[in-house]
Amino acid sequence: MSMINSLAASLDLRLLVVFDAVMRKASLTVAGDSLGMSQPLVSQSLARLRQYFGDPLFVRTSAGMSPTPRARELAPKIAAMIQLMQEALDCSTDFDPATSSRTFSFASTDFGVAYLVPKLLQHLEKHAPRIRVRAINAPRYGVDEMIEQGEVDIAVGSFAINRQPFFQRRLYYCDYVCLARREHPTIRGRLTRNAYLSAAHAMVAPLLAGYEALERFLLENIPAANFAVVVPNFLTAITTLPSSDALFTVSRHAGEHIAQLLGAQALELPVEIPGFTVRQFWHERFHRDPANRWFRDLIYVLLAGSGDLPVAGTNMVSDPSAPAV
């Protein structure tokens, strides 16, 4: 056996998976969660990798575990090796959600998170009690980079990700409703165009990706003096609802849910504002990964309301998806 082959044989391929996770997550704890490993075990694996490559590979900084130049050089090669292994084992590798302790992460708007997480938890508590979910607030720009760098497994929202190597799948179309407190002095179950345009409004600024039509309508049709409050996110805005006469225009799915929780009015809009399509997005690298496929199938069924929920002992076939090109 040559020296090169001997060196290759001495490296446990599972260590490369740890390297890849630390590279993507920039955190030993988060990398361990994504692999179902404890933080000490990840540290031990990293120590073996450092000894093997003769390089620190990752150093602790204020921003997390930062890769060395050697680690950056190795990263794409190791990622390619892992992808080849995943594809080779795909036909024979099963993912059992009933026993898995994996942590799945997704990016969405704060209202998207509020709408999806209760549905996820209800299913996971019954069918996959050891699985954990980590929700991350999606920025207005750069969601594709979050997926590409492995910060999240998938993204859910109305994002403009239209390039390879991403895949996308349509979940649902959503329009808007207007929320008003139940004891509003002038609005009772119905909203006229004149009342809507002349009322005080609560507004989120800047609005996130997918809400461009709503933002454009409000800025062009509502006088600036009528914006009673401007807040940085949707969940902050709804805290003003029970004690203010300001109206709050929001996506129908989240709005109707919030109205039930707060006992508020969810009113049909008397104006035309184009809605948006919510999709889920993932990277080509994990397209064939059984765990990632199970997670996105679950989200598809929970949000699109189509098909049977994926549970332990079943192999659910993903709804046809298309590359985001």
Digits of tens for pLDDT over the chain (325 positions)?
A: 343 344 444 567 788 889 999 998 889 988 888 887 888 899 999 999 999 999 999 999 988 899 999 999 999 888 888 877 766 655 445 789 999 989 999 999 887 888 899 899 999 999 999 999 999 988 877 888 889 888 899 999 998 888 888 999 999 999 999 999 999 999 988 999 999 999 999 988 877 767 888 989 999 999 999 999 888 877 788 888 888 999 999 989 888 888 988 889 999 999 999 999 999 999 988 888 899 999 999 999 999 875 444 443 333 334 445 555 4
Task: Provide the 3-class DSSP secondary structure of residue 170.
Answer: strand
- Taking each helix axis from N to C terminus, what angle separates 13-25 and 28-35, rounded to the nearest 10 degrees? 130
**Rounded Cα gap, residues 169 and 176, in angstroms:** 22
Tokens of 111: 């209202």
**Cα–Cα nearest to 161, from 275, 251, 279, 79:** 279
Give one DSSP letter per residue of 235-287, joined into a string. HHHHTTGGG---BEEEEHHHHHHHHHHHT-EEEE-SS----EEEEEEEEGGGT
End-to-end, the C-alpha distance of the chain in Å comes to 46
Q: Are 275 and 281 in contact (CB under 8 A)?
A: no
**Cα–Cα nearest to 128, from 104, 147, 154, 105:** 104
Task: Provide the 3-class DSSP secondary structure of residue 101.
Answer: coil
